Every structure is written in C-alpha cells, then in structure tokens.
Amino acid sequence: MIASQLTPRSRLLLGPGPCDAHPRVLTAMTTPLLGHLDPQFLEIMTETQSMMREVFGTNNRLTFPISATGMAGMETCLVNLLEPDDTVVVCAKGFFGARMIDVAERTGARVIALHQPWGQAFDLNHLREVLKRERPKAFGIVQAETSTGVHQSLEGLGKLCQELGTLLIVDCVTSLGCTPLKVDDLKIDAAFSCSQKGLGCPPGLSPLTFSDRAVAALKARKSKVRSWYLDLTMIESYWGGDRSYHHTAPISMIYALREGLRIVLEEGLEARWARHFRNHVALKAGLEALGLNYIAAPGCQLPQLNAVHIPAGIEDIPNRKRMLIDFDIEIGGGLGDFKGKAWRIGLMGYNSKPSSVFQVLAALETVLRGAGLKVAAGSGVAAAEVAYGN
C-alpha cells in the first residue's frame, strides 16, 4: 500500500507549542541541502551561532543548537555539568521543574528538590537561604513554567550563585524570543531553549549556551559524560573552530533556525518582547470577560503562555476538541496537578498577533456558550478591542 500525499488541514496552533512557523522559515527549509561539512554550510553554522548569541544576550563562545528538541537541551546541561555525588538544587513549581528533578537524578548526583505550589513563583530570599545552607555545585530553575503560565524572576539569582561558587542552570524553553532574557546580565551559566516557540520554527533543535564557568566545570570533570550523543566535549569540536565530525547535523532545521533568528533580530528584541506583552494584555482582557481566571497570580503571568482555570461544569477534552474540529484552533490542556482543570493558550513568536487573539476569543465564546456557560455575546472580543485601544 502506498500512502496518499500529505494534505492535513491547516490549524492555528495556540497551544503550549509548537506554534505556527513563520512563512519565511518554511521557505528557508526548502533551500537545497548541503553536506554537513560543506564550507558553505560551515559558514551558515557560524552565522547561526552569532545570531543566537545576540538573541540569548550573551558573548559565550559555547553557544549552538543541540540537534534534538528542547528536552535534549535540559538533559545536555545536566549530564555535562553533573557527576555522581555532586549536589544540585532543583526548583519545581510545575511540570517541567519536576522533569528537571527527574533528569538530574539520572546523572547520579545528589538532588535537593525544592517544591512550590503550582501557580506560584519562588521567592529569592527563600532560595538564598537554601543555597547558602547547601552550597551545591549547580542550581536549576525554570524561567517560564509552561504548565502553569508562571514567570519566575531571576533578578539577583545569578549573582548569588556566583558568590557561592554554584552554577546557575535555567530552562528558557518558553521564554527565549518572547520575554526579556539577557544571559550575561543575569549571570546565567547554562541556558537551553527550543526552536518551536518564541523563535517561530518547527520543533527539532535546542539552542544552548554555556558560560566560561560552565565550560571550566565541564573540562574539570573526573568522569565521562553519561551520554555520548550529548557530550559537549565532542559536540563543541563540531561547532567550534575544528569543525570535527560528530554527527550529521539536521541541515534544513539549521536553515530554519538561521531564518528564525534573522526575523527576531530584524524586529528587535525589545520590540518583540513588547509585542508579546501587548497581545497578552488584550487576550487576558478577553479571557476574563468570558469568565476565565488565570492560574498565575498578577505580576508573575507569562505573556506568551496564558494558563486559565476551566470554569466549573465545563468539560475539558470535548470543548478543546470542538475548538479543533469546528474552528481549526488548537489550545492546550492542563498537565499534572492541572490535568482536566486548565486550558493553556500560547501566543508565541509568529502567532503573537491581534488576529490570533480575536480568533481564539471568538471561538472560545461560541464553545463556552454551547457548553452552557452564560457569556455575553461579543464580550471577549470587545474587551480585547478596548485593551488594544488603551
């Protein structure tokens, strides 16, 4: 049997990721293939690294994309920086913080897990107490918790970690390209992200950056990195000056990332962050007009990932399915503690625009009214219009 030609229906991807790729990115992916050691491709790698440093806000020499999705970035940071019997403190205030704990445990390190109720951010004073008491080799935290829509402030944390000789590892999967992130200013030692959210590309790459302190820790290891594929001592030779063969790079995905980074820098980081916030304010006004309340408290709400409680009496899956089937709009359900209790609406990268806001609000209103919720006709869209006007 020969399968038919691919003809999937077009969707508006407003879940937690992937988001829709920018049309220019998709066009870049049709560029003819080159060999992964072709001089032309090596130049493309260099350009991509240079732009990646700008977007991360760093001068770190070791900055490049891991040839795998965002979770590989998390694993790369942890398996390269941790050895058996090292101590690491990891913060969990949602699903992905808990996952970082799981990955850290698999390195053989001694993991001290800090837990915060889902929907809340960590207080720096509390973290300072723990760090001064434990003096760990590394400290891991999620900047943008995708499961709850909580933004974690990092102000002062990197400086504290440096004073205590601790490496700061930050999950930037849902923050890079959406909200302020300046790796060098924040004194972050290892940061990882993904290609399919704020950078407006398909999934498949995990941008990563290591500070000089992190590189020194990597070189001082007493044992081999517990992953051959993610061993930065070898991958660095491919992305560094030697360009030594390690694996066959995903050529078309590098093309995509290069174009995505070009688009980010053409817009300007400050303008891009402002755009995400402006569209978030309008979406929030519309969602609250429809009776949907945010999980995260005011002051720590992500603009790019809007997580709201599902109203009492409204089912999760049937109504998300109606959004998908009737309106071709994907929104995300809850994870972990919020499974079946929350909806997650992403406004990331290319999809952070007024048309996305108005489309999802109009569709949600229809779905909620059909499910029996009393909603004033046009209230969500009208509230968003007022927000944009202000």
The answer to whether 174 and 348 have CB atoms below 8 angstroms apart is yes
The answer to whether 188 and 319 have CB atoms below 8 angstroms apart is no
**Distance between CA atoms of residues 69 and 118, nearest Å:** 25
Q: Which parts of the chain have pLDDT scores under 70?
A: none
Q: What is the pLDDT of residue 348?
A: 98
DSSP 280-306: HHHHHHHHHHTT--BSSPTTSB-SSEE
Q: What is the pLDDT of residue 287?
A: 98
C-alpha distances out from residue 77 to 131, 170, 254, Å: 19, 9, 20
**Distance between CA atoms of residues 200 and 350, nearest Å:** 6
Q: What is the pLDDT of residue 384?
A: 98
Q: DSSP letter at 137?
A: S
DSSP β-bridge partners for residue 375: none
**Distance between CA atoms of residues 28 and 241, nearest Å:** 26
The residue type found at 263 is I
Q: What is the pLDDT of residue 75?
A: 98
Contacts of 312 (CB under 8 A, 6+ apart): none
pTM: 0.97
Q: What is the pLDDT of residue 363?
A: 98
**Distance between CA atoms of residues 350 and 211, nearest Å:** 29
Residue listed under structure tokens 């998390």:
74
Task: Mark out the alpha helices in the chain (DSSP H runs).
Answer: 23-28, 39-56, 70-81, 95-105, 124-134, 157-163, 212-219, 232-239, 251-267, 269-289, 317-327, 354-370, 379-389
CB atoms under 10 Å from CB of 142, counted, come to 30
Q: What is the pLDDT of residue 110?
A: 98
Buried (b) or exposed (e) across 372-383, using 16+ Cβ within 10 A?
Answer: ebebeeebbbeb
DSSP 216-272: HHHHT-SS--S-STT-HHHHHHHHSSS----S---HHHHHHHHHHHHHHHHH-HHHH
Angle at 374 between CA 369 and CA 378, to 5 degrees: 65
Angle at 32 between CA 18 and CA 267, to 5 degrees: 50
Q: What is the pLDDT of residue 213?
A: 98
The answer to whether 295 and 333 have CB atoms below 8 angstroms apart is no
Domains and CATH numbers, the chain: 23-266 (3.40.640.10), 269-389 (3.90.1150.10)
DSSP β-bridge partners for residue 141: 170
Here the tokens at position 91 are 């913060």
Q: What is the pLDDT of residue 240?
A: 85
Within 13 Å, how many C-alpha atoms sit on residue 230's CB side? 23
